[in-house]
A and B are shown apart, each in its own frame.
Chain A
Amino acid sequence: MALEITEPRPMGKPIKRKEDARLVRGQGHYLDDIKLPGMLYLALTRSPYAHARIKRIDTTRAKALPGVHLVLTGEDLAKLNLSWMPTLAGDKQMVLATGKVLFQYQEVAAVVAESRALAEDGAQLVEVEYEPLPVVVDPFRALEPGAPVLREDREEASNRIFHWEVGDQAETDAALRNSAVVVKERIRMPRVHPAPLEPCGCIADYNAARAHLTWYVTSQAPHAHRTVLAMVAGLPEHKIHVISPDIGGGFGNKVPVFPGYVAAIVASLSLNRPVKWVEARTENLTSTNFARDYHMEVQLGADRQGRVTALRVTTLADHGAFDAAADPTKFPAGLFSIVTGSYDFPVAYAEVDGVYTNKAPGGVAYRCSFRVTEASFLIERAMNTLALKLQLDPAELRFRNFIPSERFPYRSPLGWTYDSGNYAATLQKALDMLDYPALRREQAERRARGELMGIGISTFTEIVGAGPSNTFDILGIKMFDSCEIRVHPTGKVIARLGTRHQGQGHETTFAQVIAEELGLTTDDVIVEEGDTDTAPYGLGTYASRSTPTAGGAAALAARRVRDKARKIAAHLLEVRDTEVEWDGERFTAAGAPDRAVGMSEVALAAYTNLPAGMEPGLEATYYYDPPNLTFPNGAYVAVVDIDKGTGAVKVRRFVAVDDCGTVINPMVVDGQIHGGLTEGFAIAFMQEIAFDEEGNCLAPNFMDYLVPTAVETPHWETGRTVTPSPHHPIGAKGVGESPNVGSPAAFANAVVDALGHLGVTNIDIPLFPWKVWEVLRQHGVTE
């Protein structure tokens, strides 16, 4: 059970979360809880068509509605040069449509009124005349000759956004030709949505007298958003104050800037009043950022013993109408090149083509470090197909191909240097937790009786913690992160970081890191994030980067504080600096451990009794630029039973053994794993943002976009191996995304494993019962 926050030496312990004191009382302070005097509300008019020319917009009736203060269209924004905005991926996106609309639910007009309801009424009264255009939904069709070119604003007369490739194509092809076995598979990772429980929103509060904008926003990256805003809107950066209040889940959804944000800011600037925009769930699912939508083709070569020889991947990435991904600038396909996974491939080649279609924009890293989920899903699925082809146990196949622990740091054929790992031990632990041989025996017995039971394995490696500034930037801003620590005279601490948590528990875990370094308790340290006026600059929380980057900064800033504290301690103990020792909680005089001072005595002295000539105060700031990324890994095993009557899949057991390096708080880590597995389960079995051929979104709400409830969510069994990152200040690697990255393949592999004896090697996720039933029917095994 959880430990109290006053526990000494808190590192690695299940300390109770500090943020929960307010959250269990319903006293969280989320965006929509903020009410400012004189605040107006904004609602958006959206397109019913996926592709249409706008012939006319008539705002007369909306403007005439009592209580409406302002109606904005794309033409109004064009006068301010704001009808388009840059995306974090270096593309641009319409704020309010001009000329034509490119996806269903696209933002066409904004109405600002006295109340939420009146703004909605006004938005309904905006009349728009459309002339429908041919719609491109299928990304393959988008590249065919003769396909309508969707983006008329670009010079290129094509729907291709980018072509990206990595690795040695010629060598890979040669190796595949010379391989004893080559398996091919088409693997699709459908469009899904992060759907945090709190939708996105903002309040723009412009004060003309001060020429100052306060912008409250559901932002995972407040500093980056402030800079983008300064660049786009031309407001001086120091006169923009971004406040990201408590966030009700993010999962990547709250990284980009959305048209509603820009419209609210323009409205506040023109009305000199605070303007709130909060999206409804339908708006969230239809317009603010999907994830995945990767159509992949893989060729995997091996020798007769199952040792892998080469990997080749070709991918079509559907980005929708605008490339609104938030990938680091040099990585249009994110970190997809982690696709060789945990295996020692001599050679590999991957290519990705991004295309435009008439769908909502995005391509965000949904609980994923930039396309790592797609890569992991692909390689783990392909390894399953190889095992089937070779009639080799999938666990044994993995043991034969793991990068051996003594090969770290390991240079992958696609250019990454993996920091550490002990893959065989991690998998062995998972197999032991389940008694894997017994399960295989049971499966054989059941199969003999005609029952369908499957065991699916996924042994993924992630790449997180972007990142080293020589490689990683977003719109030119380097992806370091930061921490500032102030120790007050009574030994109490306020720490501020450039990240912004959304439920991950930073107020507790970063306090643990700092308390451990300073010999204090978690209770002694307040962690603040999300306020650009007070926190040091940082790039925010996504891509499992907080612990690898800001967590490193926190430890190193604390060590800076401790270095100064040591000098003050020497003064108090009346010994030389070199004669002071740190025992983890106190400074002692060397050889005389009973002569000791703690951090609070030192802190008081920093303001009251300093060594001669020393600068007063006790604080430090650290901007941490990590030397490398971190590479968490895990071994996940799913055990499923398939109902032959309905095609329904029951997950009987799921074991997740994670290795995220040093663990700061095991309770929080397990919580992250539970949550991510549940999202992975949903992606494998029930979620897809699908479209009909006219581009109508078929999953625009929680009735059609299924979020698992407590009833169908499996019971999760977690385990751990600990292989610290050698380059991280406390050896931690980050964990929030591993379960979402690693689990979909375990589920899919389990279902395919149950049907492997029938010759099935692949079924596209989501594995809806009807889809599985159809496969059963084709093989004549329905009941």
Chain B
Amino acid sequence: MRIAVTINGKPMSADVEPRTLLAYLIRDEFNLTGTHVGCDTTSCGACTVLMDGTPVKSCTVLAVQADGTEVMTVEGLEHNGQLHPLQQGFWESHGLQCGFCTPGMLMTTYALLQRNPDPSETTIRRAISGNLCRCTGYQNIVTAVQYAAPLVREARTLTTEVGE
């Protein structure tokens, strides 16, 4: 089946089998390998991407379901050669070790900061509870998100001002 998806702002299309999962469409067809696969029971969240702004586990979405949607992956976070504040935060706070969970964590927390720019520690921990990390013990991931939150708020205020 022919499908069309906008990935990180770029229109793309592909022929897929009905059973193809979005994760493999992204990885194998579009060669965006930042989206990872770590389980077979929708448990780990390493495959998290945004579909029309909502975080989804792309291992549990059929590629055909993504037809006509806007998908954002970890590769879409960097802007004009500038790391997203969350990427800076993960780096500054040692929020990653092996890095396998990191893309999924980044996408989930990106969506979190979109809807709640000033989350408490409990809110952050709840938000990432569908993303498993075997390396960090999560504490530094929480710090990373706390590092990024004010920067994201600031950037937003700036954009709003410019917009006005």
Contact = CB atoms under 8 A, between A and B. Distances in A.
Nearest to B33: A33
B137 A716 contact: yes
A503 B74 contact: no
A20 B96 contact: yes
A1 B144 CA distance: 11
A251 to B, nearest CB: 7
Interface residues of B, number: 59
Given A25-B34, A117-B17, A249-B134, A701 B126 contact: no
A281 B75 contact: no
A100 to B, nearest CB: 27
B137 A30 contact: no
A26 B91 contact: no
A199 B43 CA distance: 14
Most interface-central of A16, A503, A668 (chain B CB within 10 A):
A503
B134 A19 contact: no
B43 to A, nearest CB: 4
Give the interface size bracket for A toward B: 35 or more
Given A701-B41, A710-B141, A23 B134 contact: no
Contact of B36 (A19, A248, A677, A716): A248
Nearest to A672: B97
Interface stretch (B63-71, B99-107, B151-159): B99-107
A679 B136 CA distance: 10
Mostly helix, strand, loop or mixed at chain B's interface?
loop
Interface string A186-219: 0000000001111100000000000000000000
B90 A703 contact: no
A367 to B, nearest CB: 10
Given A674-B140, A713-B138, A702 B132 contact: yes
A247 interface: yes
A21 B81 CA distance: 12
Contacts of A678: 136-138
B37 interface: yes
A250 to B, nearest CB: 8
Interface in A498-546: 502-505
Contacts of A710: 124-126, 128-129, 131, 133, 138, 141-142
B44 A709 contact: no
A715 interface: yes
A448 interface: no
B40 A713 contact: no
A36 interface: no
B82 to A, nearest CB: 12
Given A197-B38, A702-B39, A248 B98 contact: yes
A390 interface: no
Contacts, number: 182
Nearest to A677: B137
Interface string B31-69: 111111111110110100000000000000000000000
A707 interface: yes
Given A197-B44, A701-B40, A710-B129, A16 B34 contact: no
A704 B138 CA distance: 21
A28 B90 CA distance: 15
A771 B94 CA distance: 36
B135 A249 contact: yes
Nearest to A19: B99
B28 to A, nearest CB: 8
B107 to A, nearest CB: 10
Interface of B: 17, 19-20, 24, 27-28, 31-41, 43-44, 46, 73-75, 77-78, 83, 87, 90-94, 96-103, 106, 124-126, 128-142
Interface of A: 1-2, 16-17, 19-21, 23-30, 32-33, 35, 116-117, 195-199, 246-249, 251, 280-282, 502-505, 667-668, 670-672, 674-679, 701-703, 707, 709-711, 713, 715-716
24 contacts: A2-B93, A23-B96, A24-B90, A24-B96, A25-B77, A25-B83, A26-B32, A26-B35, A33-B27, A116-B24, A195-B134, A197-B44, A197-B101, A197-B134, A198-B98, A199-B38, A503-B96, A667-B94, A678-B136, A702-B44, A703-B41, A703-B43, A707-B43, A710-B125
